[in-house]
Structure 1
């Protein structure tokens, strides 16, 4: 204990005696403590900063080190305070503060969220359906400040009072519209507490259910709910339980327990509300159970899990409709099966597999099916009619994002979909599939923004193995491709998550300063179909990193950026990308921005007690097998740090992050400081009150982003 207190005091005293100027600031120097991380097959790695891990977040020396890094960051960034403030004011100044979402109708009520000027959190509300009441009329009333007839369900501003972090994960309404369940999180670890309210009286029921995933569904009796309980140590979704509102949660019965820690769990109701569904998914396998919502006594398996069999399903009318990769359909196909017999042998093709089109999602309606597809790294929405005919929803730009919106009821001819691009703010349309008439429901208001002053384009960079990598670009009109501009390049490249080009109010501030923004659709995502994902995971993960570097080289060669004015940005698994490219090609980047980065791959994947580990063996590989261990060691950022000149870096994390634990970036920065021979500053910012998503509230996160961008602009020499 004495050693711990002495270390904490030494770190803090070192900083307190430093001059306030950034030039004279001395970075913290974390203590090294010998530690060896052993693998089951005998491999060993030294980890001198392993001691920074504290699952309880209580170790005084560890906390002192994080606070010392924050104090150092304050000193380094102090001269940029005016720039931070300017960026923050610009970003917030583009936001319409008294805004509201598009109302969605469900069981006779219109539900929406709205914000009030100067407040950080939404107000969730509803209005009763009736003559003259629709989405447009409610939006107009909200814009006019006319809230007559509104029933406030949750004023999150009130709930968040006095809390450093607060988030409502979800809320659900009973089938008779009289009871509400909602889940909240008070530290950012995404471990939710459920509460219940009688909407007729406004009174809350006494019980609270802690340690849940935030998923909940009501049965048809309006008093029985099903929810998912997380494991208190690993935080993994483990059990589905049944609770009767008004009773003690300790008496809740277990309905289903998942024994395989590589599977996650979710709850839902089918499109027609006939069934309650338990879905379990791993990286390469799915299994769905269903029970009648009117009598959910027993759950039936739709299709038993098999390795490499993935599927999702929904029910409407007299059939199940299933999206699956069965029978070699790598890009997925759509099948149907009768309600009475939905076994694999009964599946009949509705939309056949297509090597050039990735089928991503679907929505069932009484007279048609809406499909979300991908082709040539662009999203499309297709209307599949009962007679087998189909139509595509049109787009107007070369690089854009399009997808299905909130379509809460199936008995309509109208389809809501969203459209956005790097220059077009998020827009929601309603398309009447019977007449072809399209109605603009809402476009995200962006104050002072003129889209005609910006240009977006799609280019293709050639990777070192010959693959063509799509890249979405945006810049301000008048930009000259002469090789002098500063550029920010962003990518993710993991889990098959596609990073589609969408509008950002923060990016505008960069474009207005002459910068180019590049979104690289590298392998590991799914922009180009399932093969794109498969070629960027497991023993092909290196493609993700080399794609990013090759995109940078291409854009510099084409004159979009100066070779010494390129910034790179990634978060979470994208932070792994940042760590890898800064090890592999540090000379290509002037500055690296890395948020909640997954940088200690081998140690984390060797520890099944850490959330996400077991579920991700099919993403990264299980390092308990030597072939995966040996491959991971070749790219894990923490393990590949070496004596070389690194770019300037801004690394951010959250103390309460449950997805990428804070100690990964903390260890990474400590070792990076030991080995970096360059002159660029390394800033490490820990949010001591938040988790993976940063601070709660709609404005506070912009403070964090303004700080990071101010650092980047300074390093790039952008005025």
Structure 2
């Protein structure tokens, strides 16, 4: 959802850009300004080779890894100008929606402080400012400014602080800065006693940070400059030259992601290596930064785990003989051999263990059952006395807040639903009492005006798909309402029914908001994910279509007023749906869409490719090649009518490269047989997440909603 600053080009100026990008204007464009006609990219012969046959890709020239080619840039600018010309007709509507959305943000706000050592740490926002301000408060109630990201952002077109960690003695702060949107971070170290940053730094990093107890050594991850994959763990001593950083671990299997962190008790540093179906964790005593890492359990295919440390033992979440995961434990002296692991919380077929947090006297489990995410509290001394944190709502989400102290009976968690703003509670695990710490204040919002519900759609193979719904009270289920349907459906990432303040600009105008919990996520357990990936990926797309048909049949929506939205892998979903069932949708919005599946997965120089062979398949293997080709949105574009479409990307996106949607849109322009609008927007100064400021993001959402609302009014 990324857009460049608004601008208009005259017909003459746009024609000049167009000639640079794509050659002469076709006869059909004579007598009209280029802004009134969509750009049509030049086709240039190019062969994509593979072991299973070659394919022609006439728009491959739009790929430029340096992002400097003038013809490519001119084409993107021409598309931007065409979109600007189109949306000028409803600029007043966009401004109105933007004002509504920003009006639901409490501009001067702060997070609930959490205690760590001698300080309370929190994040604040000030009215009119885009970025957070990190502060801490001492025992006497005195606030100290740690980092004002608004100051960092001055003179920058993009700014993101990807991580921030304070040293054990709380005198130093390590933080990671990205000012391009490429997710390549620079390590900075700030002396919190003086407020000054050290001159020496490291660049080309992931945002992960782990501190040793000596308060002068940090462990970070260096990325490969070509693939951008996290490959090397570096040990760096504060204040020393960058070239003094020491390699302590290098991953040679490029299918693994990497992360470093401290355990909750601060006693150990962890290197977490994670692949779709395999995990390996290395641990090091934080008192001995020059020591050797030990492997908690060697990697094996189809074996995953994560771990935290408590009282000289490791608490482990694992799928060892447990598809929905179980909780196990092992003494630190026995690490390296998983046969020494003993069960704590056994596997259940109807409960998926999502996460856990350890305390001295309790284990808190965040689990999924019946598609909902809830919290179970288990006393170490008596697991039979487990208790749940209850809810009165039909669809909701409970997740752990930041719990940094183990020696406490108080768990902090966040509760949210489609009608309940994010609410932080302190739950006493000994007494069952809970204290409301904060509910996010949402101006111009009245929860009593809205209702939520759940329904179940039947997929084409008989599977029941849960759907979360939000609509305004008084909604008539008579088939007249417009529908905004969202889903993701990949990587086991679940689309939970969180509160989303922006959506009320649609709901207040009569829309039904639906979250389709389709296969490929993990809402219904691990098998839900397994049934929506690799050679079962088609289920993700057909589930989404089946949900649409269900909502129309049950009269939640008018058949000619259905709109879909998805981003990244959800953008792949939008692309597949556009090819498979275009007649069901008035419009589709695809943000940073992964749409050129086969070509991308054949190219191991592209970030994320090798890591994801177990998600999509390796196209060097013929069955996977053929299967991916059968649904790849770019390859399956055909001569047919398509819905109205808005496609967005960021020039510096490192997750889904800008040229995937660029090529897809170019091909759609030459194949679509309808007169529906096809709009493509590239933000030239951002990456996968769009603009970095909080208000800039709201403007982008307003543009999306206005695109949809304008179509409803047609």
> Does TM-score exceed 0.5, indicating one fold?
yes
Pair 540,586 (structure 1): closer, same or farther in 2 beyond 3 Å: same
Q: Which runs of 5+ in 1 are unaligned?
A: 134-148
- Match of 1:165, SS? coil
1:674 counterpart residue number: 670
Measure how far apart 1:704 and its partner are: 1.1
Matched, 1:664 2:660: yes
Please tell me whether the aligned partners of residues 52 and 620 of structure 2 are also in contact (alpha carbons under 8 angstroms).
no
Alignment of 1:438-587 (within 5 A): 438-587=434-583
Summarize the alignment of residues 392-411 of structure 1 with structure 2, pairs less than 5 Å apart.
Answer: 392-411=388-407
Distance (Å, rounded) in 2 between the aligned partners of 1:710 and 1:639? 30
Per-residue deviation, 1:402:
1.1
Distance (whole Å) between structure 2 residues aligned to residue 422 and residue 555 of structure 1: 18
Structure 1, residues 473-521: CA drift from partner, whole Å, max 9, x if none? 0000011010011000000000000000011111011010001000000
User: Which of 31, 36, 40 is the aligned partner of 2:47?
Assistant: 36
Counterpart check, 1:300 vs 2:310: no
Counterpart Cα distance in 2 of 1:695 and 1:11:
28
Structure 2 distance, partners of 1:19, 1:690, is 36
Return the alpha-carbon distance in structure 2 between the equivalents of residues 687 and 151 of structure 1: 36
| Residue 411 of structure 1: how far off its partner (Å) | 1.0
User: After the TM superposition, which residues 264-279 of structure 1 pair with which residues of structure 2 at under 5 Å, given as runs?
Assistant: 264-279=257-272
Per-residue displacement from partner, 1:580-603 (whole Å, max 9, x unpaired)?
001000000000000000000000
- The 5-angstrom pairing of residues 588-603 of structure 1 reads 588-603=584-599
Q: Does the CA contact (< 8 Å) of 1:638 and 1:668 recur in 2?
A: yes
Equivalent residue number for residue 84 of structure 1:
94
Deviation track 1:652-681 (CA, whole Å, cap 9, x = no partner) reads: 000000000000000000000000001110
Matched, 1:686 2:690: no
Of 245, 254, 262, the match for 1:261: 254
Q: Measure how far apart 1:171 and its partner are.
A: 1.1
Kindly provide the CA deviation profile for residues 250-284 of structure 1, in whole angstroms up to 9, marking residues without a partner as x.
12110000000000100111122111111100000
In the alignment, is residue 26 of structure 1 matched against residue 37 of structure 2?
yes
Correspondences of 1:112-191 after superposition (within 5 Å)? 112-129=122-139, 149-191=142-184
Shift of 1:216: 1.2
Q: CA deviation at 1:11?
A: 5.0
The correspondence for 1:61, drawn from 71, 75, 79, is 71
Question: Which blocks of at least 5 consecutive residues in structure 2 are unaligned?
Answer: 1-15
Shift of 1:129: 3.1
User: CA distance change for structure 1 residues 507 and 32 in 2, over 3 Å: closer, same or farther?
Assistant: same
Give yes or no for contact 2:512–2:557 (8 Å, CA) kept in 1: yes
Q: Which structure exhibits the higher relative contact order, with contacts defined as CA atoms closer than 8 Å and separated by 6 or more residues?
A: 2
2:12 alignment counterpart: none
CA contact (8 A) 1:276 1:290 kept: yes
Are residues 1:390 and 2:386 paired? yes
Residue equivalent to 1:142: none
Matched, 1:362 2:356: yes
User: What is the rounded CA distance, in whole Å, between the counterparts of 1:494 and 1:129 in structure 2?
Assistant: 46
The change in CA–CA distance for 1:50 and 1:683 in structure 2 (over 3 A counts) is same
RMSD: 1.6
Q: CA deviation at 1:21?
A: 9.3
Tell me how far 1:689 sits from its aligned partner. Answer: 0.4
Kindly tell me: are residues 349 and 50 of structure 1, through their superposed partners in 2, closer, same or farther at Cα, counting changes over 3 Å? Answer: same
Structure 2 CA distance for aligned equivalents of residues 573 and 539 of structure 1:
16
- Give 3-state SS (helix, strand or coil) of 1:326's partner: coil
Task: List per-residue Cα deviations over 1:44-81 (Å, max 9, x = no partner).
Answer: 11110000000010110000000000000001110110
Within-5 A mapping of 1:624-703 = 624-703=620-699
Q: Which runs of 4+ in 1 moved over 6 A?
A: 17-22
Corresponding residue number in structure 2 for 1:240? 233
User: By how many angstroms is 1:13 displaced?
Assistant: 8.8
TM-score, normalised to structure 2, is 0.95
The CA distance in 1 between the partners of 2:194 and 2:129, in whole Å, is 27
Query: 2:702 matched to 1:706?
Result: yes
SS of match in other structure, 2:196: coil
Tell me which residue corresponds to 1:138. none
Deviation at 1:202, TM superposition (A): 2.0
Q: What do residues 170-214 of structure 1 show as CA deviations (whole Å, max 9, x unaligned)? A: 111111111111110011111000111111122221111100001
SS at match of 1:699: helix
Q: Distance in 2 between matches of 1:233 and 1:433?
A: 48
In structure 2, C-alpha distance between the alignment counterparts of 1:202 and 1:8, rounded to whole Å? 52
Alpha-carbon separation, structure 2, partners of 1:518 and 1:318: 46
Shift of the alpha carbon at 1:425? 0.7
1:339 Cα deviation from its structure 2 partner:
1.7
Structure 1 counterpart of 2:8: none
2:690–2:697 Cα contact (<8 Å) kept: yes
Q: 1:160 to 1:18 in 2, by over 3 A?
A: farther
Tell me if structure 2 keeps the 8 A contact 1:272–1:317: no
Q: CA deviation at 1:716?
A: 2.1
Query: Cα offset for 1:10?
Result: 6.0
Between the aligned partners of 1:42 and 1:333, the Cα distance in structure 2 is 41
Cα distance between partner residues in 2 of 1:227 and 1:85: 43
Q: Deviations over 1:303-354 (max 9, x none)?
A: 0000000000111102111000112x00000001112113211111100000
Deviations 1:124-163 (Å, cap 9, x if unpaired)? 0101135xx6xxxxxxxxxxxxxxx111011111110111
Q: How many residues are aligned here?
A: 693
Deviation at 1:436, TM superposition (A): 1.6
Task: Give SS of 2:206's match.
Answer: strand
Contact residue 52 and residue 622 of structure 2 kept, 8 A: no
Q: Secondary structure at the match of 1:57?
A: coil
- Cα distance in 2 for partners of 1:56, 1:385 equals 55
Counterparts of 2:558 and 2:616 in 1: how far apart (Å)? 34
Distance 1:693 1:555 in 2: 30
Work out whether residues 176 and 222 of structure 1, in 8 Å CA contact, stay in contact via their aligned partners in 2.
Answer: yes
CA distance in 2, matches of 1:604, 1:112: 41
> Aligned residue for 1:95?
105
1:331 equivalenced with 2:324 (yes/no): yes
Displacement of 1:237 in angstroms is 0.1
Deviations 1:74-124 (A, max 9, x none): 011101100000000000011110000110111121111101111111110
1:462–1:554 Cα contact (<8 Å) kept: yes
